Structure 1
């Protein structure tokens, strides 16, 4: 635990360093989490903190920290306590994952007593050495045997193996089951492993894996978020993948035809994307956490969730480098799934998900790496037809450009590097965080009107419009001024931002003594100041 007064705020860089230090210290001390406490002094007296008073600013802190950590690890939760002596913040920090020391802005931190310091080499190596501990998926199950494997799954496994390695097809037919399992890396010297049970085991053999859950839950939700249907699939997971796939309603998506840019209709999701996402959940699940894999189907999206941190650390790096990973949580399982044609350990699987979405002009996949889990969401529709038209007409856009522009489409915050990239290529305009597609792209893709709507009029235009309307009608209520300006404000503004903007314009006219409130504070009635020219 680390206590800080933070009475009037706290330096963000120092906060990030403490986050890294406490992550690593919790790992080394074998604690599930650590705590950074604001509003309490070193004598453990509550003094109160004004650090980020608005809840939305506290919530945004999670992403800000994640953008600077090597594994995008962030706070488990930020708790606010209204203490009699002042506001206290409890920032709950997860322990660094096994084998992965957590850096902030490229540097590893720890603590020497009460002092913040670089994590020393011995501590870094001690954390990294955890990755060499036993591979859960490679453990032999002493009492399991061939009779605990599903016959149909064995047939499918042989077929997939021959498809993966066609040069061995004739040879495979002459192997007995144990020889095949050894060659496919499902067993070790004829002994049944947890991997063999996960992929090929009979459902009644699941007790061998307890407390781990070898189950996939499919859940269907309606547009209101209510559960409409569900199903639970257990071992053998090799067959469960097809059963889950059969449950998903991969409907046809029909485009509004625009010249020859778009096909008439297309599947909402590429079949490859569904299978890749599902098999990745199986391969990378942390089975020691005893959680289920979840597939949540909504009207226009699919979400896949598995327990455990995202071992590669950064999705963008995986997509852009397009290289095989150096570390796997379940290496034995990943190898077996590769041999059975379930996953591609040669790299490129995640990148393909992005490319398939690009081909459809759909939003890029969304990854949520918070809460010691990985959630991938695929959107099965065009969110913004103008944005899709831009992708279709500009084939020169690189994938990293599209990934960054996708954030602009979704109104998500850009990192400093993404903002620099898009501005250098003149792809966006506007002020942080309210960026929009640049004028050059707008003109190329038929978005001239949209571009103009995103750009605000000069402030003087709004001020003159209010004064003119007040003169014409004698006085205006606040709702009248709202109605006057609402549709003339930029499209990127939400309702709250528009109200603030209108309020600021009224306040400026009042400060310059151009209008005066002749009503009350609760029901204002704005009129021109006598003899003031308009």
Structure 2
């Protein structure tokens, strides 16, 4: 884009907004109090243009025709920081471009991507649109129209120039075998290639779909017709290093590629060595079921209209899977485990389900969580995902060997690994992490009935811990004299550092684990046993009744 080209653009037709912005143009609402004033800022225009399908925000040119360059000092010398700050605030990746005329007057062009389908962009909680020279709040009708959008099924579209002779023979054989086995239909093995494609909806009126291309297309055909179907595996000796040590580009029909991808990852997959009492066994850092599910989810749910490719970043103890396009419609970080998502490529996903390559639609994440937590590892991490990319981080290191053995022993007793669903395992994990308030009552009741958990702190308590077997395996205790060890450790840390503390200090330290009333009750229960208090009202301060050299010293005092 040049200044000459910019001067011919129409604001409404070409989705561009011109602002002089010579100096002091606000990045955000600044000192304004009214929302109608606060929205007239850089972030506000980014949101509005993204809602309109993307466009350009131009600073340093007049908005009236003929357009003249007046120059702008907005973010001068801070382009990188500007792009980073926009991403931090809005999860939008903008690209800024500086142009200069013959007088060296500066024009700043910010290229803004479109919002994802069925998603609203908001500034300070409000969806914005442009009207003439101003910004306005989006109407209910406009918002409903956007939220009601359906993402087109790319995989169901007809792929021009793709024909049966361009199908990989091994891939179609694998498809038939997988389908026959999953559906218990041996007759399908005898179907012709054309009949198999028609039966599965991969061929319509003699024309093949993009799902057929992704699943079955020869490597050279994929490179020609859909090069972004490539999957890149990058290996790094250290997780934090930027350049990769080895890179494997994979572009094969998915029925062949998934095995190839796992084989490459498995080459550098090590084991967690478990040697705890009578328990001696190995647990791999990267579980094959988890990795296959994660990779297939990324390929099936990615946005194929984006030219980027799926990237897998492996290091000795971890793995990241990144796929273009945000979460499917209706899915957020908050409901990721609870909701059955609508796949972006429905036809492709249906075939993966019918052939047994993935779990039922929308349940792959549940499987990833259940297996990962069962193995005593930390939670799968999707927090770096945004509207334009999903990133899954898996830490392969076993963080809690006792928890893995605890669950494994339970499965051996009941001889039924399906008895604990993903939400049950997540509930056990949260209780182990002293977050029983995050667990639904129905899950609590089930885990109590299975004698996997028990109440902590008395009959009237609404807090829970795992049963004694877990703490025996961990060679520790959950509580002493009715008090949680974890709570005592927090209190010791505060008072050991400063000698005295106020109630607000305790409340802040417990954060969301305990409410203010629960913290106050805990402190009152410890009064006279390990704590003294002095002063009244807001001036009240707490201290230990004696010097405790360690948490263990404090615990031993309570145990007497």
Query: Does residue 291 of structure 1 match 2:341?
Result: no
In structure 2, list runs of 5 or more residues that go unmatched: 1-16, 61-69, 98-107, 411-419, 439-460, 466-476, 502-508, 512-560
Q: Displacement of 1:163 after TM fit?
A: 2.1
Instruction: State the distance in 1 between where 2:357 and 2:34 align.
Output: 43
1:187 aligned residue: 203
2:220 aligned residue: 204
Instruction: State the distance in 2 between where 1:407 and 1:61 align.
Output: 36
Aligned 8 A contact 1:22 1:93 in 2: no
2:369 aligned residue: 354
Q: Displacement of 1:358 after TM fit?
A: 1.2
Query: Does residue 157 of structure 1 match 2:175?
Result: yes
In structure 1, which of residues 366, 373, 392 is the aligned counterpart of residue 389 of structure 2? 373
Query: Does residue 244 of structure 1 match 2:267?
Result: no
Aligned 8 A contact 1:320 1:400 in 2: no
In structure 1, list runs of 5 or more residues that go unmatched: 38-43, 67-72, 80-88, 409-414, 416-423, 429-439, 463-489, 493-534
In structure 2, which of residues 345, 365, 368 is the aligned counterpart of residue 330 of structure 1? 345
From the superposition, tell whether residues 236 and 11 of structure 1 become closer, same or farther in structure 2 (CA, over 3 Å): farther
1:26 aligned residue: 49
From the superposition, tell whether residues 263 and 28 of structure 1 become closer, same or farther in structure 2 (CA, over 3 Å): same
Instruction: State the distance in 2 between where 1:295 and 1:151 align.
Output: 27
From the superposition, tell whether residues 174 and 20 of structure 1 become closer, same or farther in structure 2 (CA, over 3 Å): farther
For residues 83-117 of structure 1, the C-alpha deviation after alignment (integer angstroms, 9 at most, x for no partner) is: xxxxxx99986531133223568764434456554
Q: Displacement of 1:193 after TM fit?
A: 1.6
Q: Displacement of 1:398 after TM fit?
A: 7.0
Instruction: Give the alignment's Cα RMSD to 1 decimal.
Output: 5.0
For residues 200-244 of structure 1, the C-alpha deviation after alignment (integer angstroms, 9 at most, x for no partner) is: 11112125524x422111111102635332222112122111001
1:230 aligned residue: 247
2:163 aligned residue: 145
In structure 1, which of residues 315, 329, 343 is the aligned counterpart of residue 358 of structure 2? 343
Query: Does residue 455 of structure 1 match 2:455?
Result: no
1:506 aligned residue: none
From the superposition, tell whether residues 331 and 106 of structure 1 become closer, same or farther in structure 2 (CA, over 3 Å): farther
Instruction: State the distance in 1 between where 2:250 and 2:361 align.
Output: 28
Instruction: State the distance in 1 between where 2:333 and 2:216 align.
Output: 33
For residues 150-169 of structure 1, the C-alpha deviation after alignment (integer angstroms, 9 at most, x for no partner) is: 11101100011112211xx1
1:363 aligned residue: 378
Q: Displacement of 1:305 after TM fit?
A: 1.1
Instruction: State the distance in 1 between where 2:400 and 2:32 align.
Output: 38
In structure 1, which of residues 110, 129, 147 is the aligned counterpart of residue 129 of structure 2? 110
Q: Mean Cα displacement is larger for which, 152-161 or 28-37?
A: 28-37
2:150 aligned residue: 131
Instruction: State the distance in 2 between where 1:123 and 1:176 align.
Output: 49
In structure 2, which of residues 187, 209, 222 is the aligned counterpart of residue 171 of structure 1? 187
2:230 aligned residue: 215
Instruction: State the distance in 1 between where 2:258 and 2:313 align.
Output: 14
Q: Displacement of 1:147 after TM fit?
A: 1.1
2:139 aligned residue: 120
When normalised by structure 2's length, the TM-score is 0.59
1:302 aligned residue: 319
When normalised by structure 1's length, the TM-score is 0.61
